[in-house]
Amino acid sequence: MSDREIDQQLVERIQGGDKQAFGLLVSKYQRKLYRLLARLVRDPAEVEDLAQETFIKAYRALGSFRGESAFYTWLYRIGINTAKNYLAAQGRRVSASSGLDSSEAESIDGGERLRDLDTPERQLMTRQIARTVDEAMADLPAELREAITLRELEGLSYEDIASAMGCPIGTVRSRIFRAREAIAARLRPLLGTRADERW
Amino acid sequence: MKEKLSAMFDGDADEETSRMLFERIRRDAALRGTWDAYCLLGDVVRSGAQPGMEGFVARVMSRLDGEPTVLAPRRAEDKRARRLLRHRLLPVAASVMGVLAVGGVVAALSGEERPTMVVLSPSPDSAAAVDTASGVVVDSAPPRATGVARRDYLAAHQAMSGGGPVPAAVQYVRTVSAQAEE
């Protein structure tokens, strides 16, 4: 199943009454959406509020979502409209330089801008997460690092990775899993969500 | 379980496995934490620094508590229904329509002009038409008596017109000649 098909399966679960499946989509797209909105709105607190508002609007509209477009394209369209409405209410307009539409949604990299916008606490967390992932990647055995890099950075399929690394697909699956687990183990203390904040 | 989740994350799980995993995630908070971590590390590896979003999902989900549950016709069921219609019902419907069309043509033809079987009687002057629908035999040829009368009439006419040196014999000559041809 492709990424889009996985999203569609989650959408269908939500449409069937499984509210919690929506949390998986929020978890998956929260940072991309935040980066998108941060290009339109300067205030970091407002960006988070708008991100929440976008997800709530998406949830309300999910009943009519039929999967003609990818879920994230649809979500980002809602995000942009939410931001534009917010700016219009503030008597401001979306700057031409932001020039965002849903076709650009996938390629947004607001890293530089995020560092300018975020609060000191958020900047600290951002740096810690990035450093932790870098260090965890560097500490991985070479074959695990190569497998996870080919998958996450290059976007290769398991079949292509198996061909590139000269090993069976099952080995690729296992290596990527072990790499993820090693990195996730280092990330978990940072993510330490409080019990009352778990979803 | 986590290895399956990792594989699903990369599109290496079939639909049934994904469904089973989502069902497990729904009941298992630790597995949801694993999903969160995999999402985050993927974003960091692909796009570098990521905004800290601690507790964001929980905040959105708590806001959803006040929202009515979304219930919509499920696309998968729609697709299954369409697939069933396309692969099973349409050929049957097409066959039925074909049979009906052919039957309709046959019925129309038999209504306009019922097939008849013509049976030649031993005499060339008469023929009997058998109505196959009703089973009634209709003698559509002129009665045998009509043929005899016509021959008598022609003989009398030729005798009166004087068409030859022996007018009275002409009729017999021609009759004999005709019988020879047959």
Tens-place pLDDT, residues B159-176: 676 555 555 555 555 555
Question: A8-44 b/e with 16+ CB inside 10 Å = b?
Answer: bbbbbbbbbebbbbbbbbbbbbbbbbbbbbbbbbeeb
Number of Cβ within a 10 Å radius of residue B25? 22
Summarised one tens digit per residue, pLDDT across range A124-146 is 888 888 889 999 999 999 999 99
Q: Is residue A136 part of a domain?
A: yes
What domain range is A12 assigned to? 1-108
Q: Are A103 and A128 contained in the same domain? A: no
What order do you get walking across the sheet with B127-131 strand by strand?
A: B116-120, B127-131, B137-138
In a domain, A21, yes or no: yes
H/E stretch holding B129: strand B127-131
Same-domain pairing of A67 and A14 = yes
Whether the pLDDT of residue A78 is over 60: the answer is: yes
Size of the A and B interface in Cβ pairs below 8 Å: 210
The dihedrals phi and psi of B117, each to the nearest 5 degrees, come to: -110, 120
Residue A151 shares a structural domain with residue A91: no
Looking at the structure, do residues A156 and A81 belong to the same domain, yes or no?
Answer: no
Instruction: Establish if A114 belongs to a structural domain.
Output: no
Question: Is the per-residue pLDDT at A89 higher than 60?
Answer: yes
Of all residues in chain B, the one with the smallest CA distance to A157 is: B10
Q: Give the ipTM.
A: 0.83
Domain boundary among A49, A83, A108: A108
Distance of alpha carbon B112 from the chain centroid = 25
Give every CB contact of residue A165 below 8 A, 6+ residues apart in sequence.
A143, A146, A147, A150, A171, A172
My answer on whether A95 and A156 are in the same domain is no
The residues, ordered by sequence, that sit 6+ positions from A18 with a Cβ below 8 Å of its Cβ are B22, B26
Q: How confident is the model at residue A148 (pLDDT cuts 50, 70, 90)?
A: very high
Residues A145 and A180 grouped into a single domain: yes
Q: Provide the mean pLDDT of chain A.
A: 84
Within-domain flag for A140: yes
Quick check: is A40 in a domain? yes
Of A63, A61, A111, A107, the C-alpha closest to A81 is A61
Residues A46 and A97 in one domain: yes
Cα distance between residue A185 and residue A140, in whole Å: 12
Same domain, A66 and A102: yes
Same domain, A52 and A99: yes
pLDDT tens, position by position, A90-116: 887 665 555 555 455 455 554 455 555
Total domains present in chain A: 2
Alpha-carbon distance A93 to nearest alpha carbon in chain B (angstroms): 25
Q: Which of A108, A133, A163 is the last residue of a domain?
A: A108
Q: Please name the residue that has the structure tokens 């309300």.
A: A60
CB–CB contact A174 B3 (8 Å): yes
Chain B: closest CA distance from residue A156 (Å): 9
Same-domain check for residues A2 and A87: yes
A104 and A123 together in one domain = no
CATH assignment of the domain containing A130: 1.10.10.10
